[in-house]
Amino acid sequence: MPRFAERVAGWRSSLADLERWLLPGACLLCEAPVAEREGDALVCGLCRSRWRSIPGPLCDRCGQPGFAGLECRICSGWPPHLRRVRSAVWLEEAARRAVHRLKYDGWWRVADAMVRTMGALEPLTGRVCLIPVPLGAARARERGYNQSERIATALGALTGAPVRCDVLHRVRETRTQTALAPEARQANLAGAFACAGAAGLTAVLVDDVFTTGATLGSAAAALAAAGAETVDGITFARAMEPMAG
Ligand SMILES: [Zn+2]
Ligand SMILES: [Zn+2]
């Protein structure tokens, strides 16, 4: 009878084999057959090449291109605690499909491919810890997981940065932000987050999509109030026409 630890190791490797076998033989985004997996990538090279990175020069603070030297209409009204935000790719068709797979179709493994675009984002330089933007309990139950946590975990595995899911919590359900004007988004989010144990952290908030920065701003305020030293934000994608927040 093998020792317990050996048996667990055995189960783990057969589970990994089983999972590999269960992975689809086609790209998750375009359904073209994936001839050779790059690791366990679920997104083909062509789809990944359609994720268009965001060209500089960028606004120092919010990472929006095209505002160098001018007052930025995206971030000029942001709360002071959110230092800077960067996004990897534009939210165009191929990126939108990846976000959709991750968020609504249960394919959280797509995060492994998404984070390969994020590893070089400026806020990740130095010793930082990754903090996923939390979902409310009801939404997390409904989805089964938090998509931002999946991105943060995959990014942590890629970069070695620690991931802290215990620091920031959503204490109040908020209405979905999509249909709200910028001012209404701020009000909708006031007091939405609670935070403990953030003292001295160099925090990088992780989210799937950047739209106005309202969510990141509100989460950053909670982290700063709990003693975080600096708070930056990173997202996989950025809306093509972000609204002033
Ligand atoms: Zn594809
Ligand atoms: Zn800006």
The predicted-structure confidence for 4-15, as pLDDT tens digits, reads as follows 777 777 776 676
Tell whether 189 and 229 lie within a shared domain.
yes
CATH number, domain with residue 138: 3.40.50
Q: How far apart are CA 87 and CA 234, in angstroms?
A: 6
Tell whether 29 and 63 lie within a shared domain.
no
Render pLDDT for 64-79 as a digit per residue (tens, 0 to 9): 997 666 788 889 888 8
> Strand, helix or coil at 207?
strand
Distance from the alpha carbon of residue 34 to the mean position of ligand 1, in angstroms: 8
Distance from the alpha carbon of residue 88 to the mean position of ligand 2, in angstroms: 16
Distance from the alpha carbon of residue 133 to the mean position of ligand 1, in angstroms: 28
**Is residue 152 domain-resident?**
yes
Tell whether 203 and 165 lie within a shared domain.
yes
Distance from the alpha carbon of residue 60 to the mean position of ligand 2, in angstroms: 7
Tell whether 218 and 115 lie within a shared domain.
yes
User: Among 34, 230, 26, which Cα is nearest to 126's?
Assistant: 230
Average pLDDT over all residues of the chain: 86
Tell whether 138 and 192 lie within a shared domain.
yes
**Is residue 172 domain-resident?**
yes
pTM: predicted TM-score of the whole model, two decimal places: 0.85
Helix ranges (H only) for 60-136 are 93-104, 110-114
Render pLDDT for 193-222 as a digit per residue (tens, 0 to 9): 999 999 999 999 999 999 989 999 999 999
Distance from the alpha carbon of residue 235 to the mean position of ligand 1, in angstroms: 21
Q: What domain range includes position 215? A: 52-238
Tell me how far apart the terminal alpha carbons of the chain are, to the nearest angstrom.
Answer: 62
**Is residue 244 domain-resident?**
no
Above 70 in pLDDT, residue 169?
A: yes
